[in-house]
Every structure is written in structure tokens, then in C-alpha cells.
Amino acid sequence: MSSLNLDDFTDLIERPDGGVRRDAEARRERQVVPPGALGRLDDLGEWLAAAQSAVPVRAVERPRVVLFAGDHGVASLGVSARPAGSADELVRAVLDGATPVSVLARRLGVPVRVVDMALDCEPESLPDEVVQHRVRRGSGRIDVEDALTLEEAEAAFLAGVAVADEEADSGTDLVVLGDVSVGGTTAAAVLIAALCGTDASVVTGRGGRAIDDLAWMRKCAAVRDALRRARPVLGDQLQLLAAVGGADLAAITGFLLQSAARKTPVILDGVVSAACALVGQRVAFRAPDWWLAGQTSGEPAQAKAFDRMALEPLLDHGVTVGEGAGALLALPLVQAAAALAAELPESPESSEDPESSEDPEKE
């Protein structure tokens, strides 16, 4: 039995500062551009101010991309367009700067961190800073066996907590979160179907590299069989991650919850981070207030998870490549919202009679 008590996060996680958000809204009403004219950028600036407890909002100057990596045994069923056990090739491509997220991060000046949790390769083949948190080599085939032992799930979850602490302590002021996995979207679909009470066909998508109809049918069957194994442990989120998640998903869940506890905003990417966020919401209901949905990936399970958490994606560009690329595209939007909220001057009328804009009922 695990000694880790996830219920502690319910007390540790507070909502972003509501009073500061109201101050940010009042400041926005006094600026030269009419409220509402900037659309969702207004909401983003006010959300960020509340997350920072700062008015005017501070610029996002030290963002970081954090990618958790792992292989999933269920990929051996042919549910992915990539061969089972090949996620290490994707990781090497990220480290070599040869993937979309690498190119975008280089262009935006954002560092990328990769955390190996369960890659199916020798740890000596990757840099020490990548493999230092690894829990095991590959995760189990969730349609017939647990992805992890309970002890491994706890270790992976705590590794995610440790990474969140490392980022917060180093001054990271916003995280773009993603995954590098083969078979990860299948595990994510199972988690979301289990937590939303839906059938396999409703949540099963075609993955980052679209699979054909036969592979989709195999994926549906795997999700269906894993769902049968998930339902008996729905009341215990760590046990759920052990049964049908994986080391990377358990780590992402721990990372998300600890980031919320440390008041570090996070932009979610694809269906894997959405599934882990949904698990995190079950643990601590305030936690989603610290997260933004970066983009719509087209995965039906992602849309269902975001809807359950009342998170509206910032972008819909059809980016399915994964690895945090879609969420990273949303980062300049968040930075633009912060700049506009902080730097737009107040109108002369508000300077002459500030109470009129702050409290219309006094007129």
C-alpha cells in the first residue's frame, strides 16, 4: 500500500488571487483601449496577474518547455504509427534540435527539458540529466497487466513533484508541458474514458501520426480492455495511474499538482497532458485554475477532458505532432497578453475621475 497521500494537495493548492484579479480588471477598464476590444487577451492578462499576485502583471521572461518521455507496452499491439519502444529516437531528435518543438523553442528562445521516465532503451545512451529520474524501462501492457507497480507509480509521481520544484526554484515563471511517448495517447484515452464514464470508441483518436482504420480498431479494443481494468480502481488516483497510466503519465500528474501548489502556471499540450490534468483535478479541484489549454489537437479524448475541466483551448491550428509544439505556439499569445495588460497607458478620462471607471454605481 502506498504511503503517499494525494489528498494533501487539496489543502496545499489555492486558487489564483481573486482580489488581484479584480484589481487587474479595474486597471484594464482604465486603459486607453476599451475593455473587450482585445478579446481573450484581456482574460489572459487578468488570469496571469492573479497567478503572479501582481498588478500590473509581470512579463513572462523565463518560460521553459518540459517534456516527460516514456514507452508504453500497449504499443506492441500496433496502436501507434511508430514502432513500439522507439520513443528514445524521438527524444534524441528533440535533443538534436531536429523536431518542431525544438525549432520553435530555438526561435522563441525557450529552453527545452526532457525527462525520461520509462524509455525502452539503455539509460547510458542518453545524457545523465535526461535519465536521472527514470523509474523503469517501458510501462506494462495496460490491456492485460498493470502499467506500473504501486511503488513505481509513487516513485514516478514524486519524480514529477521533484521536477516541478526544480523548475520553480530555478525561477521558471511558466511551463509549456508536453510528452514524448509511443503508446501514450492510448493510455491517456483510457484515463479520460474512465474518469468521464464514456466508452472506448468515444475517446479513441488516431494519435499524433494518424493511424489507419485497422490500427484505430486495434486501439479501440485496447482502450476497451484497459477500461475494464481501470474501473475497479477509479476511487484511488495513484492506483489508477499504476493500473492503466504509465511512468510518464504518473510523473506529469505529480508535476501538474506540485506546479499548482508552487503557483507556477502551466500550458497544457496534447491528450496526454490533458489526461493527467483530469486526474489532477480529481485529486485537487482547484488545480485546473493554474493551467491553460494551449491548443486543440483533434483527439476526441482531449476535447472531453478540457470540457470536463472547463478549459478553453487558446489555439486551433490542427497541430497533431505532440511534443509540446502546439502548446508552445500559444506561449507568444500569453506573453502578448501580459505586455498589453502591463504597458497600455490609462486613458486621460480615468486619470481625472478614476472612481467613475472603478465603481460605476457611484455615478
262 touches 235 (CB < 8 A)? no
Residues in the chain: 363
Active site residue 299: no
Catalytic residue among 323, 352, 355, 363: 323
- Looking at residue 315, what DSSP letter applies? B
At residue 70, the 3 state secondary structure works out as strand
CA angle 183, 187, 192 (to 5 degrees): 140
Ordered DSSP codes for 208-258: TTT--HHHHHHHHHHHHHHHHHHGGGTT-HHHHHHHHT-HHHHHHHHHHHH
77 touches 144 (CB < 8 A)? no
Among the listed residues 262, 263, 242, 260, the one whose alpha carbon sits nearest the alpha carbon of residue 251: 242
What CA–CA distance (Å, rounded) separates 158 from 270? 22
Contacts of 22 (CB under 8 A, 6+ apart): none
Pairing of strands 63-71, 174-182: parallel
186 touches 223 (CB < 8 A)? yes
Residue 58 has, within 13 A of its CA and on its CB side, a CA count of 11
121 touches 86 (CB < 8 A)? no
301 touches 189 (CB < 8 A)? yes
187 touches 73 (CB < 8 A)? no
What CA–CA distance (Å, rounded) separates 323 from 114? 10
Catalytic residues: 323
